[in-house]
Amino acid sequence: MTSQPRSAWSSLAHLHFRAFWIASVASHIGSYMTDVGQGWLMASLTPSPLIVSLLLTAESLPFLAPGLPVGALAEIVDRRRLLIVCPLLQLCGGKPPGRRAY
């Protein structure tokens, strides 16, 4: 029995996956814009390229360092439960409402 070749875009036909994918792309674009803004601001505040690179490294290291262990963990646990728990943990890490961030 021969199977039909699947397109790389065929997963976007599912409504829930498409919504999740679009939200993820929008979130990543916002994160990248923040990274550029931070680097730009720091470059305008100090002439030292070392300080600018240290700032950008310190900002991206928490996302890169646990990548392999978290990826391995994601293969072990139930993915449905993981997609429910992770956004809840992100919600708990946010700024409390009514407080100013200085």
d(Cα 57, Cα 62) in Å, to the nearest integer? 9
- Select the more confidently predicted residue: 95 or 28: 28
Q: How far apart are the first and last CA of the chain?
A: 63
Q: Is the pLDDT reported for residue 26 higher than 90? A: yes
CB of 43 within 8 A of CB of 52?
Answer: yes
pLDDT given for residue 50 in this prediction: 92
pLDDT given for residue 95 in this prediction: 60
Helix, strand, coil percent values for the chain (each to nearest 5): 75, 0, 25
CB of 32 within 8 A of CB of 38?
Answer: no
* Buried-state track 22-41, b at ≥16 Cβ within 10 A, e below 16: eeeeeeeeeeeeeeeeeeee
pLDDT given for residue 29 in this prediction: 93
Q: Is the pLDDT reported for residue 7 higher than 80? A: no
The tens digit of pLDDT for each residue in 42-101 reads 889 988 999 888 888 888 887 788 888 888 888 898 888 888 888 888 788 766 666 555
